[in-house]
Homo-oligomer: A and B are copies of this chain.
Amino acid sequence: MAEQVRAIRTRRTILAAAAKVFEENGYQAATISQILSEAGVTKGALYFHFQSKEDLAQGVLAEQDQRLIVPGRASKVQEIVDVVMLHAYRLQTDPMVRAGVRLSMDQLADGLDRSGPFLRWAEVGNDLLARARAQGELLPHVVPSETADVIVGSFAGIQSMSQAVCDYRDLVSRVSALMRHLLPSVVVPSVLASLDLSDTRGATVYAEAVKALNELELSAAS
Protein backbone atom coordinates (compact mmCIF):
# COMPACT_ATOMS: atom_id res chain seq x y z
CA MET A 1 0.00 0.00 0.00
CA ALA A 2 2.77 2.41 0.97
CA GLU A 3 4.51 1.47 -2.27
CA GLN A 4 1.39 2.17 -4.27
CA VAL A 5 1.03 5.60 -2.67
CA ARG A 6 4.70 6.30 -3.46
CA ALA A 7 4.22 5.22 -7.08
CA ILE A 8 1.21 7.54 -7.47
CA ARG A 9 3.21 10.41 -5.97
CA THR A 10 6.18 9.77 -8.26
CA ARG A 11 3.87 9.69 -11.27
CA ARG A 12 2.36 13.04 -10.28
CA THR A 13 5.81 14.57 -9.70
CA ILE A 14 6.90 13.48 -13.18
CA LEU A 15 3.70 14.78 -14.78
CA ALA A 16 4.04 18.16 -13.05
CA ALA A 17 7.66 18.38 -14.26
CA ALA A 18 6.62 17.41 -17.80
CA ALA A 19 3.84 20.02 -17.77
CA LYS A 20 6.35 22.69 -16.76
CA VAL A 21 8.94 21.67 -19.38
CA PHE A 22 6.33 21.45 -22.19
CA GLU A 23 4.96 24.84 -21.18
CA GLU A 24 8.40 26.46 -21.19
CA ASN A 25 9.75 24.91 -24.38
CA GLY A 26 6.84 23.70 -26.44
CA TYR A 27 6.30 20.02 -27.20
CA GLN A 28 8.67 19.94 -30.14
CA ALA A 29 11.74 21.30 -28.36
CA ALA A 30 11.19 19.64 -24.96
CA THR A 31 13.45 16.70 -24.08
CA ILE A 32 13.11 13.80 -21.67
CA SER A 33 16.37 14.75 -19.96
CA GLN A 34 14.95 18.23 -19.16
CA ILE A 35 11.90 16.52 -17.62
CA LEU A 36 14.17 14.14 -15.66
CA SER A 37 16.20 16.94 -14.12
CA GLU A 38 13.06 19.02 -13.39
CA ALA A 39 11.38 16.06 -11.65
CA GLY A 40 14.53 14.94 -9.78
CA VAL A 41 13.75 11.26 -10.34
CA THR A 42 15.83 8.48 -11.86
CA LYS A 43 15.60 7.46 -15.50
CA GLY A 44 14.31 4.06 -14.32
CA ALA A 45 11.46 5.66 -12.34
CA LEU A 46 10.43 7.80 -15.31
CA TYR A 47 10.44 4.92 -17.78
CA PHE A 48 8.51 2.77 -15.30
CA HIS A 49 5.59 5.22 -15.67
CA PHE A 50 6.03 6.63 -19.19
CA GLN A 51 7.51 5.06 -22.31
CA SER A 52 8.23 8.16 -24.37
CA LYS A 53 7.91 11.93 -24.72
CA GLU A 54 4.55 11.47 -26.47
CA ASP A 55 3.42 9.25 -23.58
CA LEU A 56 4.32 12.01 -21.11
CA ALA A 57 2.43 14.56 -23.19
CA GLN A 58 -0.64 12.30 -23.31
CA GLY A 59 -0.44 12.09 -19.51
CA VAL A 60 -0.48 15.89 -19.24
CA LEU A 61 -3.29 16.13 -21.83
CA ALA A 62 -5.41 13.69 -19.81
CA GLU A 63 -5.14 15.87 -16.69
CA GLN A 64 -7.80 18.22 -18.07
CA ASP A 65 -10.32 15.36 -18.12
CA GLN A 66 -12.91 15.55 -15.43
CA ARG A 67 -11.71 14.37 -12.08
CA LEU A 68 -14.09 16.77 -10.42
CA ILE A 69 -17.64 15.68 -11.09
CA VAL A 70 -20.36 18.27 -11.57
CA PRO A 71 -23.35 17.25 -9.38
CA GLY A 72 -26.32 16.05 -11.47
CA ARG A 73 -28.83 18.79 -12.37
CA ALA A 74 -32.52 18.54 -13.21
CA SER A 75 -31.74 20.50 -16.38
CA LYS A 76 -29.09 18.69 -18.46
CA VAL A 77 -28.39 21.96 -20.29
CA GLN A 78 -27.50 23.58 -16.95
CA GLU A 79 -25.21 20.59 -16.37
CA ILE A 80 -23.42 21.32 -19.67
CA VAL A 81 -23.07 24.97 -18.69
CA ASP A 82 -21.67 23.87 -15.32
CA VAL A 83 -19.11 21.54 -16.92
CA VAL A 84 -17.96 24.39 -19.18
CA MET A 85 -17.87 27.00 -16.38
CA LEU A 86 -16.03 24.62 -14.03
CA HIS A 87 -13.44 23.94 -16.72
CA ALA A 88 -12.96 27.69 -17.25
CA TYR A 89 -12.53 28.18 -13.52
CA ARG A 90 -9.95 25.37 -13.25
CA LEU A 91 -8.11 26.79 -16.26
CA GLN A 92 -7.71 30.04 -14.36
CA THR A 93 -6.57 28.38 -11.15
CA ASP A 94 -4.93 24.96 -11.78
CA PRO A 95 -1.50 24.92 -13.50
CA MET A 96 -1.85 21.25 -14.56
CA VAL A 97 -5.19 21.85 -16.30
CA ARG A 98 -3.67 24.91 -17.97
CA ALA A 99 -0.66 22.92 -19.19
CA GLY A 100 -2.93 20.22 -20.64
CA VAL A 101 -5.09 22.73 -22.49
CA ARG A 102 -2.08 24.61 -23.86
CA LEU A 103 -0.56 21.37 -25.10
CA SER A 104 -3.79 20.41 -26.82
CA MET A 105 -3.75 23.83 -28.56
CA ASP A 106 -0.09 23.47 -29.67
CA GLN A 107 -0.66 23.36 -33.44
CA LEU A 108 3.10 23.17 -33.92
CA ALA A 109 3.42 19.86 -32.06
CA ASP A 110 4.22 17.47 -34.91
CA GLY A 111 3.84 13.79 -34.09
CA LEU A 112 1.66 14.46 -31.03
CA ASP A 113 -1.94 13.36 -31.45
CA ARG A 114 -3.83 16.34 -29.98
CA SER A 115 -7.27 15.08 -30.95
CA GLY A 116 -7.87 13.20 -27.65
CA PRO A 117 -9.05 16.07 -25.43
CA PHE A 118 -11.25 17.53 -28.22
CA LEU A 119 -12.91 14.16 -28.84
CA ARG A 120 -13.30 13.28 -25.14
CA TRP A 121 -14.87 16.66 -24.32
CA ALA A 122 -17.14 16.38 -27.37
CA GLU A 123 -18.31 12.99 -26.08
CA VAL A 124 -19.14 14.44 -22.65
CA GLY A 125 -21.15 17.17 -24.39
CA ASN A 126 -22.84 14.75 -26.75
CA ASP A 127 -24.01 12.49 -23.89
CA LEU A 128 -25.45 15.39 -21.91
CA LEU A 129 -27.15 16.85 -25.00
CA ALA A 130 -28.71 13.47 -25.81
CA ARG A 131 -30.15 13.37 -22.28
CA ALA A 132 -31.33 16.98 -22.63
CA ARG A 133 -33.09 15.99 -25.87
CA ALA A 134 -34.76 13.00 -24.17
CA GLN A 135 -36.34 15.28 -21.57
CA GLY A 136 -37.46 17.90 -24.11
CA GLU A 137 -34.91 20.64 -23.42
CA LEU A 138 -33.64 21.03 -27.01
CA LEU A 139 -35.11 22.71 -30.06
CA PRO A 140 -36.26 20.14 -32.64
CA HIS A 141 -33.60 20.83 -35.32
CA VAL A 142 -30.60 20.35 -32.99
CA VAL A 143 -28.12 17.55 -33.81
CA PRO A 144 -26.41 16.79 -30.46
CA SER A 145 -23.04 15.70 -31.92
CA GLU A 146 -22.79 18.83 -34.08
CA THR A 147 -23.72 21.15 -31.22
CA ALA A 148 -21.25 19.37 -28.89
CA ASP A 149 -18.47 19.95 -31.45
CA VAL A 150 -19.38 23.63 -31.77
CA ILE A 151 -19.31 24.12 -27.98
CA VAL A 152 -15.97 22.33 -27.50
CA GLY A 153 -14.28 24.01 -30.46
CA SER A 154 -15.44 27.51 -29.63
CA PHE A 155 -14.54 27.14 -25.96
CA ALA A 156 -11.00 26.18 -27.00
CA GLY A 157 -10.65 29.39 -29.02
CA ILE A 158 -12.28 31.66 -26.44
CA GLN A 159 -9.76 30.50 -23.81
CA SER A 160 -6.86 30.99 -26.22
CA MET A 161 -8.02 34.53 -27.06
CA SER A 162 -8.46 35.35 -23.36
CA GLN A 163 -4.94 34.13 -22.63
CA ALA A 164 -3.44 36.11 -25.54
CA VAL A 165 -5.27 39.32 -24.71
CA CYS A 166 -5.07 39.44 -20.90
CA ASP A 167 -3.63 36.19 -19.48
CA TYR A 168 -7.08 34.75 -18.61
CA ARG A 169 -8.29 37.69 -16.50
CA ASP A 170 -11.53 38.00 -18.50
CA LEU A 171 -11.96 34.27 -19.21
CA VAL A 172 -15.12 33.77 -17.16
CA SER A 173 -17.03 36.66 -18.70
CA ARG A 174 -15.94 35.62 -22.20
CA VAL A 175 -17.21 32.08 -21.58
CA SER A 176 -20.47 33.44 -20.22
CA ALA A 177 -20.86 35.58 -23.39
CA LEU A 178 -20.20 32.51 -25.53
CA MET A 179 -22.96 30.57 -23.75
CA ARG A 180 -25.40 33.47 -24.19
CA HIS A 181 -24.63 33.46 -27.91
CA LEU A 182 -24.82 29.68 -28.50
CA LEU A 183 -27.66 28.46 -26.31
CA PRO A 184 -30.60 30.43 -27.77
CA SER A 185 -30.27 28.40 -30.98
CA VAL A 186 -30.10 25.10 -29.08
CA VAL A 187 -32.49 25.23 -26.12
CA VAL A 188 -36.26 25.76 -25.76
CA PRO A 189 -37.14 29.21 -24.34
CA SER A 190 -38.48 28.01 -20.97
CA VAL A 191 -35.21 26.19 -20.21
CA LEU A 192 -33.18 29.14 -21.48
CA ALA A 193 -34.94 31.47 -19.04
CA SER A 194 -34.06 29.27 -16.07
CA LEU A 195 -30.31 28.86 -16.74
CA ASP A 196 -27.64 30.34 -14.50
CA LEU A 197 -24.97 31.72 -16.87
CA SER A 198 -23.50 34.23 -14.46
CA ASP A 199 -19.76 34.97 -14.11
CA THR A 200 -19.60 33.44 -10.61
CA ARG A 201 -21.13 30.10 -11.65
CA GLY A 202 -17.71 28.42 -12.18
CA ALA A 203 -16.48 29.19 -8.65
CA THR A 204 -19.77 27.98 -7.13
CA VAL A 205 -19.68 24.69 -9.05
CA TYR A 206 -16.02 24.22 -8.12
CA ALA A 207 -16.78 24.55 -4.39
CA GLU A 208 -19.66 22.07 -4.75
CA ALA A 209 -17.53 19.57 -6.70
CA VAL A 210 -14.63 19.72 -4.20
CA LYS A 211 -17.06 19.16 -1.31
CA ALA A 212 -18.62 16.16 -3.10
CA LEU A 213 -15.15 14.72 -3.78
CA ASN A 214 -14.11 15.08 -0.12
CA GLU A 215 -17.28 13.38 1.08
CA LEU A 216 -16.67 10.54 -1.38
CA GLU A 217 -13.11 10.06 -0.14
CA LEU A 218 -14.20 10.18 3.51
CA SER A 219 -16.86 7.54 2.96
CA ALA A 220 -14.38 5.37 1.03
CA ALA A 221 -11.85 5.63 3.89
CA SER A 222 -14.32 4.74 6.63
Q: Does A161 lie at the interface of the complex (its beta carbon under 8 Å from any beta carbon of B)?
A: yes
Task: List A residues 175-207 near B (Cβ within 8 Å).
Answer: 177-178, 180-186
Is the contact region of chain A dominated by helix, strand, or loop, or is it mixed?
Answer: helix
A174 CB contact (under 8 Å) in B26, B104, B153, B164: B153
Range class of the A interface residue count: 35 or more
A25 to chain B, nearest CB (A): 6
Residues of A at under 8 Å CB distance from B?
22-29, 101-102, 104-110, 114-115, 118-119, 146-147, 149-150, 152-165, 174, 177-178, 180-186
- What is the bound-complex CA distance between A153 and B163, given in angstroms? 11
- What is the bound-complex CA distance between A197 and B154, given in angstroms? 18
Query: Contacts of A119 on B, CB cut-off 8 Å?
Result: 165
- What is the bound-complex CA distance between A109 and B102, given in angstroms? 11
